[in-house]
């Protein structure tokens, strides 16, 4: 069993690249707008006003009372910075992948490794965006945030409706990116499995290599291949070693009068006309 180095459906790869480019632009735009804190704290406070989650003021109170409180992951600065990083990294990797594909370097195995890494990064992002907020026991958020599970019209402030839609879109695009990279992985694994035609071609290649390796025929030189002749193996047994003779050498010797007298050498035309 061997790993195939060819893509089964090259047109599908190109289509996925085009779709990935559009989604990556959307990721960069949405995550870039959210940085550094355009609406994260506002949505946090809006959810607290509606009783959906904890309040950002509790963090300030805890620090004022010398009781540091860990910020929930969904409202932390870490996830905002992390999303920016993976957005820029996704665009860079996309450009590298397209270049590698054009130069026939993007093999299915390499694609599998790259997209497995991307799926892991976006899984962290999706987990953070879907993480609960249990910092306030009186207002626990055990599932997804309110701006994902509820319509944005429930926002306590109308100015937060647009921010709610942006946050909701960021979560949806993150899921779409994960699905896209999962398709890349499935296509890479499928392409790595050799087809019956590839198996037959490889078997034939291996058999031909074995025949050439163990063939008893001697190797031919470049000059012998041009002449289509092979030098005789016995270079002579009587009268010492003689120079190897080819048909062309014999012809030249006869025409030039180089034949042996005892063997009737010389030019036949000279003997006939007394030349």
Rounded CA-CA distance 129/30 in Å is 14
For 198-214, b/e burial (b = at least 16 CB within 10 A) is eeeeeeeeeeeeeeeee
Please provide the distance, in angstroms rounded to a whole number, between the alpha carbons at the two ends of the chain.
76
Alpha-carbon gap, residue 23 to 31, rounded angstroms: 12
CA 187/CA 11 separation, integer angstroms: 12
Q: What is the pLDDT of residue 232?
A: 52
Q: What pLDDT, on the 0 to 100 scale, is given for residue 48?
A: 94
Instruction: From residue 233, give the alpha-carbon distance in Å to each of 20, 210, 212, 227.
Output: 66, 25, 20, 17
CB 170 within 8 A of CB 163: no
- Are the CB atoms for 61 and 92 separated by under 8 Å? no
120 HSE (CA, 13 A, CB side): 6
One DSSP character per residue, 193-233 reads SPPHHHHHHHHHHHHHHHHHHS--SPPPPHHHHHHT----S
226, two tokens: 């041009």
What pLDDT, in 10s, does the model give residues 30-40? Answer: 999 999 999 99
Assessment of whether the complete model's pTM goes beyond 0.85: no
Distance of CA 264 to the CA centre of its chain: 75
pLDDT tens digit string along 105-144?
Answer: 999 999 999 999 999 999 999 999 999 999 888 889 998 9
pLDDT at 53 over 90: yes
Q: Which pLDDT score is estimated for 91?
A: 97
Q: Has residue 15 got a pLDDT over 70?
A: yes
Query: Token pair for residue 28?
Result: 């960069």
Q: What is the mean pLDDT of the chain?
A: 81
Can you give the length of the chain in residues?
A: 275
DSSP letters spanning 124-135: HHHHHHT--B-S
Query: Phi, psi (5° rounding) for residue 129?
Result: -70, -20
Question: How far apart are the C-alpha atoms of 124 and 76, rounded to whole Å?
Answer: 14
pLDDT exceeds 50 at position 237: no
Quick one: pLDDT at residue 261? 47
């Amino acid at each position: 069993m061997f790993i195939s180095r060819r893509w089964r459906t090259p047109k599908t790869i190109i289509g996925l690249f085009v779709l990935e480019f559009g989604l990556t632009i959307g990721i960069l735009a949405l995550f870039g707008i959210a940085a550094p804190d355009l609406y994260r704290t506002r949505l946090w406070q809006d959810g607290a006003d509606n009783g959906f989650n904890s309040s950002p003021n509790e963090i300030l109170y805890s620090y004022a009372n010398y009781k540091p409180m860990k910020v929930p992951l969904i409202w932390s600065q870490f996830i905002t910075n992390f999303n920016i990083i993976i957005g820029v990294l996704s665009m860079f990797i996309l450009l590298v992948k397209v270049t590698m594909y054009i130069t026939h370097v993007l093999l299915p195995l390499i694609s599998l490794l790259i997209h497995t890494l991307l799926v892991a990064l976006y899984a962290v992002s999706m987990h953070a965006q879907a993480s609960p907020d249990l910092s306030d026991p009186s207002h626990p958020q055990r599932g997804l945030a309110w701006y994902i599970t509820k319509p944005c019209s429930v926002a306590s402030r109308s100015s937060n409706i647009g921010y709610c839609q942006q946050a909701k879109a960021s979560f949806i695009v993150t899921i779409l990116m994960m699905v896209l990279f999962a398709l890349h992985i499935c296509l890479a694994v499928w392409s790595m499995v050799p087809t019956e035609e590839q198996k037959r071609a490889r078997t034939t290649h291996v058999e031909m290599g074995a025949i050439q390796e163990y063939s008893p025929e001697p190797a031919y030189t470049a000059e012998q291949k041009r002449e289509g002749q092979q030098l005789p193996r016995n270079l002579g047994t009587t009268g010492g070693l003689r120079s190897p003779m080819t048909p062309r050498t014999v012809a030249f010797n006869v025409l030039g009068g180089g034949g042996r007298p005892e063997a009737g050498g010389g030019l036949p035309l000279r003997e006939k006309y007394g030349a």
